[in-house]
Copies of this chain bind each other. A is one copy, B any other.
Amino acid sequence: MAREITGFSNPLVKRVRSLREKKYRKAEGLFIAEGLRILTEAREEGVLPEMLFHAGSTHPLASALIAAMEAAGGDVIETTPDILSKISGKDNAQAVVGVYRDRLAPLETLDRGKADIWIVAQSLRDPGNLGTILRTGDAVGAGGLILIDDCVDPFSVESVRASMGALFTQSITQARWGDFVAWLRAGPGELIGTSLKAARDYQEPHYGSPCFLLVGNEAQGLPESYEAECDLLVKMPMLGKADSLNAAVATAVMAYELLNQKRRG
């Protein structure tokens, strides 16, 4: 269904704009993704938005998105650049904005055998870090991201943007720690944490498969009881004055070590 909206006070514009706030995302089960690159990555994964907003772009990727939406009977809304800017909250609006159904994979549906690496984040507070970790997960062929405790919303505009489309290629699961540990211990898998207190260098162990890489909160790191649950606690060399890396950076350095070990066979 194709239609046009040109009024700022149109209720649909207001509704979509409200999805920039977590409470409305939660209530509707919807979130916003912006830009040809991210929406195209989603389309290539077979994921189309519930609603597609554009401002008459003639870019071939926009045309491909519109065609895919029309073929699927989706809702395509042509609007003005000003209204697109209003929806996206940015001065320079993207060519397209999509409204997607949120995508949470329950713990019990995960197939742990499908990947060697899984990333588990605990109380991650920064949406940019969360999106960046999804992007890294995609790069290392991770199975998905499991969010423990009070993590920031993975469907925030900032997280979606930082993920650069990996939000659509990585599965995302929310779980309580106890439920995660019970699920983990019911099958194969090694839980690996990084800790300032660890004695072992991160390049020393031979990691098993699948690996669950546990990343702690940006400011506090992992709670002690979570560290105690880990099968391996390792540390990265820190030669300078600082005692920690950015959470997304630490995750990537560990994840590439795991990947490099798998590549060596």
Give A residues with C-beta under 8 Å from B: 41, 44-45, 128, 132, 135-141, 162, 164-166, 169, 203, 236-242, 244-246, 248-249, 252-253, 256, 259-260, 263
Name the CB-closest residue of B to A249.
B252
Decide: B239 and A256 in contact? CB cutoff 8 A. Answer: no
B140 pairs with A239, CB closer than 8 A: yes
How far is it, in angstroms, between the C-alpha of A248 and the C-alpha of B246 when the chains are bound? Answer: 9
Contacts of A136 in B (CB 8 A): 245-246, 249
Q: List 9 A-B contacts (CB under 8 A).
A: A135-B242, A139-B237, A139-B238, A139-B245, A162-B246, A169-B242, A237-B259, A237-B263, A249-B252
Q: Is the CB of A169 within 8 A of B128?
A: no
A256, B253: Cβ atoms under 8 Å?
yes
Nearest B residue to A255 via CB reads B253
Q: How far is the CB of A160 from chain B (nearest CB, A)?
A: 14
Residues of B within 8 A of A169 (CB): 240-242
Known: A138-B240, A140-B237, A237-B263. 12 other contacts (CB 8 A): A41-B241, A44-B241, A132-B249, A135-B246, A139-B242, A162-B246, A164-B246, A165-B241, A169-B242, A203-B260, A237-B259, A248-B249
Interface pair A41/B259, CB less than 8 Å apart: no
Set of chain B residues within 8 Å of A236, measured between Cβ atoms: 139, 256
CA–CA, A134 and B185, complex, Å: 39
Q: A132-B249, A246-B132, A248-B246 are in contact. Are A138 and B256 (CB under 8 A)?
A: no
**Residue from the set A44, A169, A246, A263 with the largest chain B CB neighbour count within 10 Å:** A246
Q: Name the B residues within 8 Å of A165 (CB-CB).
A: 241-242
In the complex formed, the residue of B with least CB distance to A162 is: B246
* A256 to B249 CA separation, bound complex (whole angstroms): 11
Report whether A166 and B242 are in contact in the complex, using a CB–CB cutoff of 8 Å: yes
**Interface contact B240-A139, CB-CB below 8 Å:** yes
Q: How far is the CA of A240 from the CA of B165 in the complex (A)?
A: 11
Q: How far does the Cβ of A173 sit from chain B's closest Cβ, in whole Å?
A: 18
Chain B residues, Cβ within 8 Å of A256: 236, 253, 256
Query: Closest Cβ of chain B: how far from A257's Cβ, in Å?
Result: 8
- Quote the shortest CB–CB distance from A172 to chain B (angstroms): 15
Complex CA distance for A110 and B44, rounded to whole angstroms: 48
3 A-B pairs with the lowest CB-CB distances in the bound complex, closest first = A138-B240, A141-B239, A249-B252
Residues of B within 8 A of A244 (CB): 164
B-side contacts of A239, CB under 8 Å: 138-141, 259
